[in-house]
Amino acid sequence: MRFFRRAPRVAEPDAQTPEEQVAVEELETPSEELRQQTEQVLERTRRGFFGQIAGLFDRGGGIDESLWEELEELLIGADVGVATTQTILKRTRERVDRDRIKEAEGARAALKATLVELLQAPEGRGRLWGAAGGDPLPKPAIILVLGVNGTGKTTTIAKLGRAYQAEGAKAVIAAGDTFRAAAIEQLKEWCDRLGLDLVAHKQGADPGAVVFDALSAAESRGADVVIIDTAGRLHTKFNLMEELRKIRRIIERKDPTAPHEVLLVLDATTGQNALIQAKAFTEAVVVTSVCLTKLDGSSKGGIVFAVCDQLGIPIRLVGTGEGPEDLAPFAPEAFVEALFR
Ligand code: GDP
C-alpha cells in the first residue's frame, strides 16, 4: 500500500529509471494484497444488487431489451442513482453496438469496461494524490479533511496517519474540530494508541490557532505530512465557508501551494444521502479527493459510481473496517473486478 509516494497517472513511455518503471507497473497492476482486500470488503455488496447484476449475464443467450431494463432497475437499486444509471446504460449500449457484441456474456465485459472508465474519469486536482506528477512532494504535505459527523472522519484521519507512519513518513494531526469536546478526545485516544503526534487545544478554541500551532510543530519536528480535522457540523453553509476560509488563510500563509489535498469523507452506507452531503460541501469549497468509508458495511456500493460521475471528484481511499489498518487506496479496476466475481 502506498499513500505517500504519488503514483504517476499515465505510463510514461520514456520512463527509464528503474524507479519510474516500478511506479508505472504498480499503477497498472494493483497488488494482490489490494485485490484480496477489495474482494473481502465487497462481500456484502456482492450479495446485494451487484450480485444480481453479475448474474444477469450468466443466463446466456442474446441481448434483448429486457436485459437492459433489468440492468437499469438493478443499478438504481444498488444506489447508483438515476442520472448515473442512464449514463452507464447509454455508454454500455454504445460499446455493445460499436463492438457488434451479440451475447450477454460480451455485454458483461462492456458493462465492466464502462464502469472502470467512469471511476477513472475524474481528474485529480490535489497535488498529493493527483495529476501533478513530477512535482517534488511538498514538505510538509498538508491534508485538510472534511465531512459530516458520523461519517468516519476521525477514524479515517487516524488510519491515514498510521498509513503514513507505516511508510516511514512522520505525521502530525491537528484537532481542528474544536466544536465538539468528543471530537478532540476521540482523536487523542487514537493518536495515543497509534503513537501519532497530535496538536490539540480545548473545546471552543479557535480552529485557526490549532492549525497554526500544528504547522509550526510540523516545521520544528520535520514532519512530512499534516492531517487537519475540521468541524463536522456547522449550521449553515456560510459558517462552514467562513471557518474553512480562515483555516485556509493560515495554511496558505505557511505554504501558498497548500492545502495539497482537501479530502471529503463520505459514508457509503448512507447511499444517495452521501451524495447530497457531498454536493453541499463542493458548493462551498474545492474538494480534491473523496474517502468513502464503511464500504465493508454497505450492501449497495453503487454510490461509488454516483460520486465519481456526479461530482467529478476522484475516490482515492476507502474505509474497509473499524480497525486502524482498514484503509485502502481505491483501485477502480480491482473494485469492478471484485463486484463481478
Ligand atoms: P466522525 O464522527 O465522522 O469522526 O466518525 P467516527 O470516526 O467517530 O466514526 C463513526 C463510526 O463509524 C465509528 O463507530 C467507527 O468505528 C465507524 N467507522 C468508521 N470508518 C469505518 C469503516 O470504514 N468501516 C466500518 N465498518 N466502520 C467505520
Residues with CB under 6 A from ligand 1: 147, 149-155, 186, 232, 293-294, 296-297, 319-322, 326
pLDDT band at 238 (very low <50, low <70, confident <90, very high): confident
Homologous superfamily of 141-331: P-loop containing nucleotide triphosphate hydrolases (3.40.50.300)
Domain ranges of the chain: 37-120, 141-331
Give the strand pairing for 327-329 and 315-319. Answer: antiparallel
Q: 87 Cβ partners below 8 Å, 6+ apart?
A: 118, 309
Q: Candidates 38, 43, 155, 327: which one to mutate for ligand 1, based on the most atoms within 8 Å of Cβ?
A: 155
At 295-305, the pLDDT tens digits run 888 777 889 99
Locate the ligand 1 atom nearest the alpha carbon of residue 320 and give its number.
Answer: 23
- The grid coordinates listed for 63 are 441481448
Give the pLDDT of residue 124: 80
Task: Choose between 308 and 29: higher pLDDT.
Answer: 308
Is the predicted pLDDT of residue 12 greater than 70, yes or no?
A: no
Q: pTM for this one?
A: 0.89
At 241-276, the pLDDT tens digits run 889 999 999 999 999 999 999 999 999 999 888 999
**CATH code at 37-120:** 1.20.120.140
At 90-139, the pLDDT tens digits run 999 999 999 999 998 899 999 999 999 999 999 888 888 876 555 677 89
- The grid coordinates listed for 200 are 490539540
CA-to-CA distance for 1 and 54, rounded, in angstroms? Answer: 28
At 13-22, the pLDDT tens digits run 455 554 444 4
| Ligand 1 center–CA 317 separation, angstroms | 14
Phi/psi zone of residue 41: left (φ > 0), alpha (ψ -120 to 50 degrees), beta? alpha
State the amino acid at position 44 in one-letter form: R
pLDDT band at 218 (very low <50, low <70, confident <90, very high): very high
CA-to-CA distance for 167 and 15, rounded, in angstroms? Answer: 24
pLDDT band at 39 (very low <50, low <70, confident <90, very high): confident
Give the pLDDT of residue 223: 96
Give the pLDDT of residue 271: 87
Q: How far is CA 335 from CA 5, 211, 294, in A?
A: 21, 35, 15
Give the pLDDT of residue 155: 97
| Ligand 1 center–CA 182 separation, angstroms | 14
Sheet with 225-229, side-by-side order of all strands: 197-199, 171-174, 225-229, 141-146, 261-267, 289-293, 315-319, 327-329
